[in-house]
Structure 1
């Protein structure tokens, strides 16, 4: 039993080292990120390769839980997602959408609270 555990640990260690070397050769993480603030609200907009396209993620940290925000995600000027989202119990709002990279690599997210000014984030890959 002890030999089997040691063998499994060795295989896992080799896989981790090989995976790290592969990432280093590839140039590391392909994620692009933009961070900023809109008043007292902070945001992060990122895009990275996914198995089925580009995964675009928008995270917003607001002041209060249960706020309603209208969120519009655009890819090269075309709307790919639009709708209302609510902040969770930690006053966070998360939006994820997977898009086709062939449709463009420039992203803009506009999040507008029920009351207040819109917050706009932009990112070009």
Structure 2
């Protein structure tokens, strides 16, 4: 199971019944890339594409019963990884970091590298190369 596939499953766990376009948008991947991930997950029997009753062209994504035990394992692994990553950090430090990372993600949503290079004055503490080779 790849990290990208884990992300899709985790997103669907919290947003089951989403359509592919909204999942691709939420995970910040191209729709064709998500479609390939869904193809693989569907072949494994973990995800089912269900016709959307409101839009005959769209498909809703649902988790299957086969994937439920894997999701439990994913939660344990994720908790262990987070515990290791945050070892030595206090609760207040962890909370502050989560807020800052959330703000950073929000600031960067929809901005590509080209935007950063075009607007370097907005981040004076960060040196952005003028030309990428």
Normalised to the residue count of structure 2, the TM-score between the two structures is 0.23
Asked which structure has the greater RCO (Cα within 8 Å, sep 6+), the reply is 1
Larger relative helix fraction = 2
Larger relative strand fraction = 1
